[in-house]
Structure 1
Amino acid sequence: MNFLSHYYFERYSPHSERILGALLPDLLKNVHKEYNFHPQCHEEILFAHPSTRHISEGWYRHVEVDRLFHNAPFFLDHCHVLRKELEPILTHLPIRASFMAHIAVELLLDHLLIVHSLVNPVRLYEHLGQVKASQIRQYLSVLGIDATEFLEFYEKFIASRYILDYAQIENIAYALFNICKRVWTFSIEDGDYEKLTDCLTRYRDKELGGFRKIFYDIQDNLT
């Protein structure tokens, strides 16, 4: 799941550190995609202070939410159907339709959460801004990370507030192509953004009317 969908499961938490933790695995991979850490190996240290314990609790919830989501028929079925819809649009590009379908399903869920006012993305950014840099540095140091590069990225992430742009579905197309450019080298042709936006709009309106159920199902199965 993407950032806003993870926030959905922590939206009532009073602890900004826990909300950061729920996003932290993906935030770290935005800095270095090879990052792969296991905070549970350092619980004796991380659970000794409330702020770092809250971050770990959010992290654990992130992992469990992703496990439930990626194994759910909802996700698997929508990836399969949307891939077929995307293939004609991507024939002249090196992008794998299965890759884009995976990311598109997640971004569309973030979009729908905003459109239907199920989460407040502004409040998410407020929470992230309330976590002290010293707390983040302390947490990452236990994981063996020099936090300098991450904190530079984190400040820009908060300042940009780009998740708010997901309220407009045309911005989802831009985000998808930008994500794909991290993997493949290609140039966009005239009409590509419009074709992708049309495809996503049709898919949202036709196939995602019952999107709330996946959030309810995950919530019911969280430990």
Structure 2
Amino acid sequence: MNFLSHFYFDRYATDPYHVLGTVLPDLLKNADKTYNIHPEKLPEHPDKAVNCIIEGWKKHLEVDKYFHSSDFFAHHSHQLKLVLAPAIQGSVVKPFFLGHIALELILDNLLITTGKLDVDDFYHHLDKVETDKLECFFDYSGLENPERFFKFFSDFKRHRYLHTYSETPQIAYALKRICMRIWKDPFTPQQEESMTEVLLKYRLILAEDHTRIFNDIDSFLK
């Protein structure tokens, strides 16, 4: 799941460090794909904020494990792969990769556009995180060179990029940005246009079905 889908399960949370923990694995991956830590294996830390980050991190892993093993994910990521394949014919990007990411982005879009969460609430939590607490967490987790993360995190908070997920046509652009981390020129303008058409149509299918996976995960977490 993507950032906002993870936040959905803690949209009423009051602790910013817990909220940060629920999205931190993906933030780290975005900042530098070589980062590799496993705080979920560590014992309790004396600092409450550090422990809250770790608990949020554990919840992230639980949610992703359930989501990626669900029939919902298997079905919709496969269907998206099938309908996106003709749109990106000739691209270096594999349709199965695109189907996976597209599903997660559409779910984020639906959470915003159906009023199930407020993107500003998410960013307000991140704005409350104190750098020294995060540094303490990274030191405890053994993360080397956290400077790259702090630069990315500062930009992430400043640009408020997740607001663009409310604009359905921007999903194709977000997909392109993600693919550009791996491939220099993943799509032609025509492929982007075709992807947008496909995603707009498939969003209508997910609009009727997306609450099921969130309800299932909610029940699992309880």
* Conserved 8 A contact 2:93-2:186: no
In the other structure, the counterpart of 2:50 is: 52
Aligned residue runs from structure 1 range 1-223, under 5 A: 1-44=1-44, 46=45, 48-145=46-143, 146-186=145-185, 188-222=187-221
Determine helix, strand or coil for the equivalent of 2:85.
Answer: helix
In structure 2, stretches of 5+ residues that fail to align are: none
CA-atom RMSD in angstroms: 1.3
Rounded Cα–Cα distance in structure 2 between residues aligned with 1:134 and 1:202: 45
Between 201-210 and 86-95, the greater mean CA deviation after superposition: 201-210
Change (3 A) 1:117 1:72: same
Equivalent pairs, count: 221
Rounded Cα–Cα distance in structure 2 between residues aligned with 1:86 and 1:39: 37
Identity %: 38
Q: Which amino acid aligns with 2:14?
A: P
Per-residue CA deviation, residues 74-131 of structure 1 (Å, 9 max, x unaligned), is 0010011111100101112111000000000000000000000101111100100100
Q: Which amino acid aligns with 1:60?
A: K
Rounded Cα–Cα distance in structure 1 between residues aligned with 2:121 and 2:127: 10
* Conserved 8 A contact 1:16-1:130: yes
Q: Which amino acid aligns with 2:62?
A: E
Rounded Cα–Cα distance in structure 1 between residues aligned with 2:156 and 2:198: 28
Shift of 1:208: 3.7
Determine helix, strand or coil for the equivalent of 1:54.
Answer: helix
Change (3 A) 1:218 1:182: same
Q: Which amino acid aligns with 2:25?
A: P
